[in-house]
Amino acid sequence: MAVSGGALVVRLDGAGDVLLAGPCVRAVRTGHERVAVLAGPQGEQAARLLPGVSQVLVWRCPWVVREPPPVEAGEVHRMVEEIAARSFAEALILTSFHQSPLPMALLLRMAGIGRISAISTDYPGSLLDVRHRLEEDVHEAERGLSLARAAGFALPPGDDGALAVRAPLPPTAHLTGQEPYIAVHPGATADARRWPRERWVDAVKELVRRGHRVVVTGAPDEKELTAHVAGAHGTDLGGRTGLHELAGVLARARVVLAANTGPAHLAAAVGTPIVSLFAPVVPAARWRPWRVPHALLGDQDAPCRASRAVDCPVPGHPCLNGVSDQDAADAAETLVEETGR
């Protein structure tokens, strides 16, 4: 029987991190009438797309975001009061392997939440009621599900634990033109994860030469990049879609080519095969596309491996520079053939 007090799932990172929290949210929803998500500004849109979410709270957390604001007592207390006002019965704090849940657990205790669960290698004292531990090389989606299970929640019958977004998706033919097409997303928030832009240009040209239509997607601050990559060969959608419309574009693509970035996880959430240009600065075992057909390109044993670098620490960016435009096009066509899309 669902508990009326409601639960709060905390994931304070980017859109991709929030999408990977989706299976955990669905599991928690089986035990609560309402489930809210506390997300960072970059994850807000993704949180609003997750099935089972009844409310989204947003906070620019000083110990999570890349360009953190100062820690100010007034802002911390404002967040505590906002959470307390919603009278949640319990909370689950989702973190990656390099993050501590304990600062957030302290705030949740101050907000009066009676049961708090998190994965923690550090001694939590009375900050956590469920202190969960697991092996390091666990995919982020499974990491969240593992915490849900430790807290007493399981996925509903028939739910395979894949990523998902709310249906229906908006129509997108006015943006993309008629199907079929291949989607290319050249951007990434970290420079270390980016395939060189000229390689993207060559990949678009190669796909078009092989007879495919190509649409190029990107955020508003990536419009110069998407225009350059699309050139005269692809359809430039840079800055023309919100996350929900982007989900529609990716869902109708035969395959998506992208770096390890939020839209790659969005493609997985709509069930589209992915050619992942994956820089090993974070482990592929934890961040590769989840539960969809995919091809992983890039040297996973390169010197930058597991460095968590934002800017490439190795001259020449060898982990991704070794991947050619033909490699990417070959991988895309193989996935199209294997999946029959």
The domain made up of 7-150 has a fold known as: Rossmann fold (3.40.50)
In this prediction, residue 249 carries a pLDDT of 98
Q: pLDDT digit string (tens) for 207-235?
A: 999 999 999 999 999 999 999 999 999 99
Of the candidates 251, 244, 230, the residue with the CA atom closest to the CA atom of residue 185: 230
- With both helix axes pointing from N to C terminus, report the angle between 73-84 and 102-110 in degrees, rounded to the nearest 10: 60
In this prediction, residue 328 carries a pLDDT of 98
Q: Say which amino acid occupies 308.
A: R
In this prediction, residue 261 carries a pLDDT of 95
Q: What is the DSSP letter of 169?
A: P
Tokens of 235: 């359809």
Tokens of 46: 């993704």
* Mean per-residue pLDDT, 278-291: 94
In this prediction, residue 67 carries a pLDDT of 87
* Mean per-residue pLDDT, 310-324: 90
In this prediction, residue 133 carries a pLDDT of 93
Mean pLDDT, all residues of the chain: 95
Q: pLDDT digit string (tens) for 64-108?
A: 988 899 999 999 999 999 999 999 999 999 999 889 999 999 999
Buried b (16+ CB within 10 A) or exposed e, 194-212: bbeeebbbbbbbbbbeeeb
Of the candidates 235, 297, 303, 239, the residue with the CA atom closest to the CA atom of residue 264: 297
Query: Which pTM value belongs to this model?
Result: 0.96
pLDDT higher than 60, residue 283:
yes
In this prediction, residue 2 carries a pLDDT of 52
d(CA 19, CA 165): 8
Q: pLDDT digit string (tens) for 260-278?
A: 999 999 999 999 999 999 9
Beta pairing, strands 90-93 & 115-119: parallel
Domain ranges, ordered by start, for the chain: 7-150, 173-339
In this prediction, residue 1 carries a pLDDT of 44
173-339 matches 7-150 in CATH topology: yes
Q: Which CATH architecture has domain 173-339?
A: 3-Layer(aba) Sandwich (3.40)
- With both helix axes pointing from N to C terminus, report the angle between 140-150 and 22-29 in degrees, rounded to the nearest 10: 20
Give the pLDDT band of residue 4 (cuts 50, 70, 90). low
pLDDT higher than 70, residue 38:
yes
